[in-house]
Amino acid sequence: MKNPLYLQGIFNETVGLRDQALAELSTYFENPAGVGEHSDISVELKKKIERVSHLDGVLETLARYYGNANKTDSPEGEASSDEIVTADGAPTFEKPAETSS
C-alpha cells in the first residue's frame, strides 16, 4: 500500500475507541453507583462488551490482512491487533502477497 497512514489512522482510532469502551466498563464494575442514570445496568454492560468485541474484530482484520512481519511472533502465526506498528510507533501496514489457488 502506497500510503499506510490511512490504515494507521484507522488502527489508532479503533484502539482509542476500544480503550474508551474498556474504561467505561471498568467504571461500571468499579463504581456502579456512579452510573445511577442507567436503570438497567446489565443492558449497558452488554452494549459496552459488544462494542469492545466489534472493535477487537476490526483490529484483528487489520492485523490479518494488512499486518507486518510480526506475524511469526504469535503462537497462531498471525499478528495480533497490537503488532501492526513497530516498537517506535512507525506504521508497518502492507498488503499481503497474493496467493495462487
Render pLDDT for 16-57 as a digit per residue (tens, 0 to 9). Answer: 999 999 999 998 888 777 666 666 888 888 999 999 999 999
**3-state per-residue secondary structure call for the chain:** CCCCHHHHHHHHHHHHHHHHHHHHHHHHHHCHHHHCCCCCHHHHHHHHHHHHHHHHHHHHHHHHHHCCHHHHHCCCCCCCHHHCECCCCCECCCCCCCCCC
Domain chopping of the chain, boundaries? 5-83
Render pLDDT for 73-98 as a digit per residue (tens, 0 to 9). Answer: 333 444 444 445 554 444 566 555 55
Nearest CA to 15 out of 95, 91, 73 is that of 91
Binning pLDDT at 50, 70 and 90, where does residue 2 land?
Answer: low
